Structure 1
Amino acid sequence: MTASPVIAYCGMTHLGLVSGTAAAAKGFETVLFDPDPALVARLERGDLPVSEPDLDATFAACRPRLTVTADAGALARADVVYLAPDVPTDDTGASDLSAVERLLAVVRPALRDDATLVILSQVPPGFTRGIEGVPGPLLYQVETLVFGIALQRALEPERHIVGCADPAAPLPEPYRVWLEAFGCPILPMRYESAELAKISINMCLVASVGVANTMAEICEHVGADWAEIAPSLKLDRRIGAYSYLAPGLGLAGGNLERDLATVMRLGAAHGTDTGIVKAWVANSQWRKGWAARTLKALVLDADPAARVAVLGLAYKQDTHSTKNSPSLALLAALDGVDLTVHDPVVPASASPVPAAAGADPIATVRNADALCIMTPWADYKALDPAAIAAAMRGRIVIDPYRVLDPARARAAGLDWVTLGVASQSQEMQ
């Protein structure tokens, strides 16, 4: 058995492309397969369809170890084959598995009899066990990528969670060699446990988000500052340094919402209580309206003709994704308002309502009566609050993610408003 197995990834959307690039960066010969010739041609030109820090440079540096192809026959070279298309969700959080099933139908007949097929796409409990006709070993592996730091997560995983038909049996040798190259714990378990482990992880993250959002909103009304409280929680070993304790504008990105919807459907099907999950969903929906409610109270109620600038359309920094973006939710509530928008990656055409496109951040805020900074891009953190104040007509800056330095913003004469602390306008009431 070769000491360095050939790894293949099928489906060149975010998950497959980032994971496959990481495999090549770890020194493995890697096949990137997608049945779409146009997408493959784009990849061969180095024109990647997703935006992630360091992804373009890493892909280019690893190109000698990457075979990019629309020919399923190339999968016969691979010892380990990942099925890794992204799984989209609808507005209810329900997964559309049709892309996984279509790609599986193409990949399955191309596999060697001894090749290990690994389902990497997020699928509901029971999906992997229901797959038939795979000639060699079939496994499920939990993906833990995070938009904006996806390549880093792929290169430095905390652990490998592996779903198996028999968790007590040894893992296939090429697959074991591959996983051990990352030097992190390997946790074999039954298929259904692994599929549910991914959902359980996201449930814990949602619980932290729910605490932060609920308590930050109370801070805004009692004179407390959530930014002062959060560090005390991170120093509690029962909670931890890496807890999701930054208040936000509801859940976004699609993955967390998908898992909440899955748990509610499973609860309904099996007669279990999921009331806490429904409360998280309700809290998320409430928080999505924070920016619109604040803007209305501070600006639009008094001046419906006000000009509003919005910086950021992506749901978070360092990604092109706008799935459930708080910025787009805000814009949808501002139909008819005079809007100018900017994002370093996402075009202004993504706005759900008519909005002018700003050439750059300062041009976007020029003559605005209010500014909403809705995505914490590094470009926006580098902005000088004094330059913003000089360009704006008004003084209200709604900055939920604390992109601007509060002291500098207030020194520039801006009425700076954020999550988890009362605004100057509220303090004077």
Structure 2
Amino acid sequence: MRLSVIGCGYLGAVHAASMAKLGHEVVGIDIDQNRIDTLSAGQAPFYEPGLPEVLNEALASGRLRFSTDMASARDADVHFLCVGTPQKAGEYAADLTYVDSAIDALIPYLGEGALVVGKSTVPVGTAARLDIAIREAQPSAMLAWNPEFLREGFAVKDTLHPDRLVYGLPVGYAHTIAKAMLDEVYAATIKDGTPVVQTDFVTAELVKVAANSFLATKISFINAMAELCEITGGDVTQLADAIGHDKRIGRRFLNAGVGFGGGCLPKDIRAFMARAAELGASEPLSFLREVDAINERRRHRMVELTIEECGGSIRGKRIAVLGAAFKPDSDDVRNSPALDIAAALQAGGATVIVTDPQALDNAARVQPTLTYAKPIYEAVLNADAVLLLTEWSEYRELDPDSLAQLVRNRCILDGRNVLDPAVWRAAGWSYRALGRASANGALSLATV
């Protein structure tokens, strides 16, 4: 099929390259000339494993091209809307400026029977509003909503082999046509056995924000348990292992630590709360405020724990922070717990050196006053404390004996609960983690 992908940021670039790999003729459109030039040259503008290979294969095949001219979408049968919906400045609500601008720019080039497919995460009710605008301009054009469920670090896999496809379809005769067109777009994926969920606009919009809200809730739940474990002397990792054996609960997303970040979970749950308030339905989502608050508290607690381990003050201390990205296998530093903690430690008087395999350039743009070092040994040299805040594999596999030769003080704080405390303590390190007892034991209920 002939497809256009409007918006070539993280979602759009991956989607465009992946659709071309599936055999479609794709044009990616974006207003950012630098981004278009970078993609046209076969370079990914962000770090995503597997994307450069898929991108270059698609460009070499002739099935993929990029442009800043919306007129390039004129001949497409299906138009994927992949623009960002950031949080409004000073508000929880989502900013739909890019969505509305993209639709306004696309409408003059919609052919008869064209299908516009929304993939952006939007407040419930957005699709119905856009559907009216599209049909008023081109009565035979249709809208469907097909939310994305990409995980950074696994985006190509999640696009080519998703665990489900959700179709939010129009009513009436258009329902059948839109479904048939989406089935053709995803024919290879459906043939592989991917389940398809057919629903209406509203439910399709809610699926994405509901999924993100559930994941955020699960993460904050285990972090709430970590707070209790710190008070009572329990071990949150063992607790998570135990309850994770229950198939109704599962072990995934039960890793206690400094919490979630990135460009999706924080802003999506906030936008969900804001939209619920607009609809007069704040009460059902009131729990998300505590989910958000727990997540923010873990960052503050990590700073407190570092101060405790540094003898009550970090002023003048040299602290190494391992990780700047909000998660491993990504260079995304949006709402990164690691960077927030590093900045707070610096504000407290510490000299903070941050290292990360991929995210240092992005980190320096967000927090330019921090010190950055690409090699791990430079970051940890003469450190009074080492904080593991992004669980890159190279940090999980660090040798405590080798690292001990570089630091001033053998103190490590595991912000992701991914290291073996026994191994590090056996090498002479003071090991602390959120929700786990120190070597001397935590406060027990008998003393409370």
TM-score, normalized by the shorter chain, greater than 0.5: yes
Structure 1: gaps (5+ residues): none
Q: CA deviation at 1:330?
A: 0.7
- What residue number does 2:233 align with? 223
- What residue number does 1:393 align with? 408
SS of structure 2 residue aligned to 1:77: coil
SS of structure 2 residue aligned to 1:289: helix
**Equivalent of 1:238 in 248, 252, 259:** 248
1:176 partnered with 2:187 = no
Which residues in structure 2 correspond to 1:241-260 (within 5 Å)?
A: 241=251, 243-260=252-269
**Equivalent of 1:261 in 270, 273, 290:** 270
- Contact 2:231 / 2:442 at 8 angstroms: preserved in 1? no
Q: CA deviation at 1:53?
A: 1.0
Return the alpha-carbon distance in structure 2 between the equivalents of residues 252 and 403 of structure 1: 18
Residue type of the partner of 1:67? R
- Contact 2:258 / 2:416 at 8 angstroms: preserved in 1? no
- What residue number does 2:356 align with? 343
- What residue number does 2:295 align with? 284
Percent pairwise identity: 29
CA 1:427–1:353 in 2, change beyond 3 Å: closer, same or farther?
farther
Return the alpha-carbon distance in structure 1 between the equivalents of residues 24 and 341 of structure 2: 44
Which residues in structure 2 correspond to 1:296-335 (within 5 Å)?
A: 296-299=307-310, 301-302=312-313, 304-334=315-345, 335=347
**Equivalent of 2:433 in 414, 418, 429:** 418
SS of structure 1 residue aligned to 2:47: coil
Residue type of the partner of 1:41? D
- Contact 1:308 / 1:338 at 8 angstroms: preserved in 2? yes
**Equivalent of 1:60 in 40, 56, 64:** 56
SS of structure 1 residue aligned to 2:127: coil
Return the alpha-carbon distance in structure 2 between the equivalents of residues 404 and 77 of structure 1: 54
- What residue number does 1:117 align with? 116
Structure 2: gaps (5+ residues): none
Q: CA deviation at 1:426?
A: 4.7
**Equivalent of 1:17 in 3, 13, 35:** 13
Return the alpha-carbon distance in structure 2 between the equivalents of residues 91 and 380 of structure 1: 36
Q: CA deviation at 1:307?
A: 0.9
1:48 partnered with 2:44 = yes
How many residues align? The count is 424
Residue type of the partner of 1:181? A
CA 1:231–1:91 in 2, change beyond 3 Å: closer, same or farther?
farther
- Contact 2:165 / 2:197 at 8 angstroms: preserved in 1? yes
1:31 partnered with 2:27 = yes
CA 1:425–1:98 in 2, change beyond 3 Å: closer, same or farther?
farther
Residue type of the partner of 2:269? L
Residue type of the partner of 2:426? A
**Equivalent of 1:202 in 196, 212, 216:** 212
- More deviation, 49-58/63-72: 63-72
SS of structure 1 residue aligned to 2:321: strand
- Contact 2:123 / 2:272 at 8 angstroms: preserved in 1? no
Return the alpha-carbon distance in structure 2 between the equivalents of residues 384 and 92 of structure 1: 44
Q: CA deviation at 1:77?
A: 3.0
Q: CA deviation at 1:428?
A: 10
When normalised by structure 1's length, the TM-score is: 0.92
Q: CA deviation at 1:272?
A: 4.2
CA 1:304–1:84 in 2, change beyond 3 Å: closer, same or farther?
same
Return the alpha-carbon distance in structure 2 between the equivalents of residues 247 and 323 of structure 1: 20
Residue type of the partner of 1:86? G
Q: CA RMSD in A?
A: 2.2
**Equivalent of 2:394 in 368, 379, 387:** 379
Residue type of the partner of 1:122? T
SS of structure 1 residue aligned to 2:163: coil
CA 1:38–1:282 in 2, change beyond 3 Å: closer, same or farther?
closer
CA 1:16–1:353 in 2, change beyond 3 Å: closer, same or farther?
closer
CA 1:276–1:32 in 2, change beyond 3 Å: closer, same or farther?
same
Return the alpha-carbon distance in structure 1 between the equivalents of residues 410 and 188 of structure 2: 54
- What residue number does 1:138 align with? 143
- More deviation, 59-68/386-395: 59-68
SS of structure 1 residue aligned to 2:262: coil
Return the alpha-carbon distance in structure 1 between the equivalents of residues 212 and 374 of structure 2: 37
